[in-house]
Amino acid sequence: MSPTATSVTIDQARLSAEIEALAQISDTPYPSVTRVLFTEADMKARAWLKLRYAEAGLAVREDSIGNTYVRWAGTDLSAAPVGTGSHTDAIPNAGRFDGVVGVLGGLEAIRALQRAGFKPRRSIELVMFTAEEPTRFGPGCVGSRIMAGTMSPEKIMALRDKDGLSLDQARAAAGYSGSVASAQLPKNYYSAFVELHIEQGYRLERAGLPIGVVTAIAAPATLRVQLTGEGGHAGAVLMPDRHDPVLAASEIMLAVDRTARGTGNVNSVATCGLVQVLPGAVNSIPRDVTLTIDVRDIELARRDGMLAEIRQTARASAEKFGVGFSDEVLNADAPATCAPEILAAIHAACDELGLRYQDMTSRAYHDSLFMALICPTSMIFVPSKGGFSHRPDEFTKSEEIVDGVRVLSATLARLAG
């Protein structure tokens, strides 16, 4: 027998206490959260979460890269399960809600359905993805990329951190072994996947709405541009003799902003978020500059058009200032369109609960971007105060999180049958 959405109760006090407790497992003082992949803080958080899963009577398994699957068995074990979940790793000096709301909120949604006496036909599986954040090894969403098979195991295992340690070495030190290829999931392993997440933007807050229903997820292309000059002493080399790569870099950074604005579409964004200048001394003319550029959109052709324009402009700027040039596209993932049947289930849950919502795109990308390659997928957003995220003052009210969990539990019940 399926409970009505309004009969399912969320334990707000317990969920809030768990979010706060997990925030204390960090390499930086509360409210700042730092949990980098396979560090001591990350492993302590994983162990703490396993205790919570055990308390709920859920079966736990981990794959060779550390993705964690927590299953509530349904009555039809032959049916593809319904998935939910997110991540708990955090960039340095981040906040306590990003990703965590989807993991602990997903756990509470399952517990709430258990308390209501719901017996799912399809199993419900909570996933904690490994390495959603790119902090330690470069690309984001390592765990879900492996699940979806978008990067070869060899390429992923060869990734290295700033200390030269490979991802393969790091996972072994953390106790994970076995074939990385075994972590790839077959197509339609899940019948549906729904991720609960804070918005990380300000649209819901400004609109005064409790729920966002994600219809599309923008995808990034990451471009690295390397510029090489001759360097030299800042006083000794005269201006006519200089080939300064910073000048080309400055022009390229302006072009990145101009290109995104020039599409005329609000979903087009481009950012030069990382600039490295060598030798990095006030009395030295720069010799080498590396720019790392993020270009994203919900429409693949428009995103790739921006990328091509930026690459062309960058090469022209290097020629103009007489500096060496090379570029490399580090990754170029495709945007995702969310599944109509999942959107319909979320809409119905909101309507049954009397919660207002708006359909929206996710301009940040999440593990759901890669889950959409495996199965029908969507996301549920809850508001973020001021749109702040990836910083210690990231904040979502507990009652807003509860609203998201209520919608998630009702959606899971519909999808699990």
- Per the prediction, the chain carries an average pLDDT of 96
pTM, 2 dp:
0.92
Helix runs in 296-380, H state only = 300-321, 340-353, 368-371
Q: And the tokens for 224? A: 């690295």
Does the pLDDT at position 1 exceed 60? no
Average the pLDDT over 91-100 and give the result.
98
Average the pLDDT over 89-114 and give the result.
98
Average the pLDDT over 152-171 and give the result.
92
Does the pLDDT at position 251 exceed 90? yes
Q: And the tokens for 167? A: 């991802």
Domains, the chain, in order of start with CATH, read: 5-218+335-416 (3.40.630.10), 221-332 (3.30.70.360)
Judging by beta carbons within 10 Å of its beta carbon (0-12, 13-18, 19+), is residue 89 exposed, middle or buried?
Answer: buried
10-61 residue pLDDT tens: 999 999 999 999 999 999 999 999 999 999 999 999 999 999 999 999 999 9
Helices 100-115 + 12-23 axis angle, to 10: 150
Does the pLDDT at position 2 exceed 80? no
